[in-house]
Structure 1
Amino acid sequence: MKTQIRTAALVFLALSVGYYVWHGLTSDDFLPWVGWQMSLPIIACTVVPIAFAFTGDGILSALTGTNSSEFRDGLLGLGTVESFAHTGVSLNDQPQVRIEFRVEGVDGKTFPSHAKTIVPLTELALLRPGVVLPVRYLPGRTDRVEIDLSGDPAAAQEAMNAAMVRKGLVTPAKLDIARRGVPAQAVVRALSVPGEIREGHPRLDLELVVTRPDGTTFAARTEKYLPPDKVSQVQIGRLVRVHYLPENEQELVISLPVNSGGQ
């Protein structure tokens, strides 16, 4: 759509200027260059920059609430925010920012990229280095991505799960427990760090007291790999959300939001 809008604006400009020049050179009027025809290139010169501005990276998506046609069917990757900066452009007083990403593609390979997007002021504080966002990218053109606006959290979670399995941070069996297990709350009763590290994530051995839906409790042990800055999420005494199998209550997983340590 961006290309069509910009092309239409440029065609309008060319036709407007062309007609104005043709009229001035061929008309028998006393003042051939003065008249209603003057308005055409003036209007066109106003429309063109507006068309280019409103079809800039992130602007059209902010207006439509969807990804551009170019990226709508792109591959879904995981973009980790490395930095961001204001571009100086705003839409309805909402700033446009350029976000620098380290993107992990569907094949597990990572690459640097960036996206420009409109961020509501109320959400700007949530944008910080380390935050993981689903992004759409084009193979062979990875210098630019778009934040995924498909509104499909299941697809984003599947991409996160696949990435964590590749890194050895979780197993398919644990993901199955997270999908079909009984949700419950638990309290961290003990925590130990055996020293094993995978992909910069230390292994944490946890002892939990889980509360069943009927109010009774049971003790269980599990392990989880977390980035160092997320260890505070599972400190002793913290409440965490878990999923467990009723037929084997020792088989459980801790469920944390994507940007609080992953699944």
Structure 2
Amino acid sequence: MKNQIRLAVVVLAVLGVGYYVWHGLTSNDVFGWVGPQMALPIIAATIVPIAFAFTGDGIMSAMTGNNSSAFRNGLVGLGTVEGVRQTGVYLNEQPQVRVDFRVEGSDGKVFPSHAKMIVPLTQLALLRPGVVLPVRYLPDRTDRVEVDLSGDNSAAQDAMNAAMIRKGFTTQAKIDIARRGVPAQAVVRSLSVPGEIRDGYSRLDLVLVVTRPDGTTFEARTDKFLPPTAVSLVQVGRVIGVHYLPENEQEVVLSLPVNTN
């Protein structure tokens, strides 16, 4: 879509300038170069840069709230922010930024990439290194991605689950519990760190006191691999969200946010 718009504008600009030049060269009037036709090259010089600016990376997405046509049906991967910098372009006083990502594709392959997007000033601080975002990418062109704007949380969750299974952070059985288990709250009774580390995530062994919907409680043990920034969420005494199956209360799955401070 972006290329079609740019091509159409360039063609119209060339035709307009061409007509102005043809009229000036073929006119027998001494003022053949002066007249209403002068507006054509002026319009061309105005609309071409505007069209290219408003079809730039991230601009159309910001205006429509959707991914560009090229990425709308792209594969969903997980992009970890590695760096953010402003490009100097603004839309309605909101800056365009270039976000450098380390992307894990749906097949488990990891590649560097980047995206350009318009970000409200109030949300700019949220784009910090380490934040994980669902992104759309094209397998044959991995140098650029777009942050997923589809609102399809299930696709993003599936990508996250597949990545966690590949890394050994969870199992399909635990994911099934998280999907169909009973939501509840639990208090962390004890916490131990056996010292196992995978991909920068530390294993924590937890003893939880889970409150059933009827107010009664039961004790359960579970383990969780967490990044250092999330360890504070499971300290002794903290109340956390969990899911469990009534027929097997010893299998408890924690519900923690993906991105933590």
Q: Distance in 1 between matches of 2:236 and 2:43?
A: 67
Q: Distance in 1 between matches of 2:111 and 2:240?
A: 33
User: Cα deviation per residue 1:177-221 (whole Å; 9 max; x = unaligned)?
Assistant: 000000001111100001111122111000111111111111111
Residue 45 of structure 1 corresponds to which residue in structure 2?
A: 45
Q: Distance in 2 between matches of 1:260 and 1:213?
A: 27
How well do the aligned residues superpose, as a CA RMSD in angstroms? 1.0
Residue 211 of structure 2 corresponds to which residue in structure 1?
A: 211
- Unaligned 5+ segments in structure 2 are none
| Residue 8 (structure 1) shift | 1.0
In structure 1, give the amino acid aligned to 2:44. Answer: A
| Residue 50 (structure 1) shift | 0.3
User: Cα deviation per residue 1:122-177 (whole Å; 9 max; x = unaligned)?
Assistant: 21121111000011111121111111111111110110000000111000000000
Residue 71 of structure 2 corresponds to which residue in structure 1?
A: 71
Q: Secondary structure at the match of 1:70?
A: coil
Residue 237 of structure 1 corresponds to which residue in structure 2?
A: 237
Residue 82 of structure 1 corresponds to which residue in structure 2?
A: 82
User: Cα deviation per residue 1:218-244 (whole Å; 9 max; x = unaligned)?
Assistant: 111100001112111111111110000
Q: Secondary structure at the match of 2:237?
A: coil
Q: Distance in 2 between matches of 1:206 and 1:113?
A: 37
Q: Secondary structure at the match of 1:122?
A: helix
2:108 is aligned with 1:105: no
Q: Distance in 2 between matches of 1:126 and 1:214?
A: 38
Superposition map of 1:61-210 within 5 A: 61-210=61-210
In structure 2, give the amino acid aligned to 1:88. Answer: G
Q: Secondary structure at the match of 2:126?
A: coil
Q: How many residue pairs are counted as aligned between the two chains?
A: 261
- Unaligned 5+ segments in structure 1 are none
Q: Distance in 1 between matches of 2:40 and 2:109?
A: 51
Q: Which runs of 4+ in 1 moved over 6 A?
A: none
Q: Distance in 1 between matches of 2:41 and 2:233?
A: 61
Q: Secondary structure at the match of 1:209?
A: strand
In structure 1, give the amino acid aligned to 2:186. Answer: A
Q: Distance in 2 between matches of 1:197 and 1:176?
A: 24
In structure 2, give the amino acid aligned to 1:134. Answer: P
In structure 2, give the amino acid aligned to 1:142. Answer: T
User: Cα deviation per residue 1:32-70 (whole Å; 9 max; x = unaligned)?
Assistant: 000000001101110000000000000011001111111
Q: Distance in 1 between matches of 2:84 and 2:52?
A: 23
Q: Distance in 1 between matches of 2:44 and 2:12?
A: 6
Q: Distance in 2 between matches of 1:244 and 1:114?
A: 39
Q: Secondary structure at the match of 1:151?
A: coil
Percent identity over the alignment is 76
Q: Distance in 1 between matches of 2:213 and 2:127?
A: 35
Q: Distance in 2 between matches of 1:59 and 1:115?
A: 12
Q: Distance in 2 between matches of 1:152 and 1:260?
A: 22
Q: TM-score, normalised by structure 1?
A: 0.97
Residue 260 of structure 1 corresponds to which residue in structure 2?
A: 260
| Residue 12 (structure 1) shift | 1.1
| Residue 29 (structure 1) shift | 2.2
Q: Distance in 1 between matches of 2:247 and 2:74?
A: 41
Q: Distance in 1 between matches of 2:234 and 2:223?
A: 11
In structure 2, give the amino acid aligned to 1:22. Answer: W
Q: Secondary structure at the match of 1:37?
A: helix
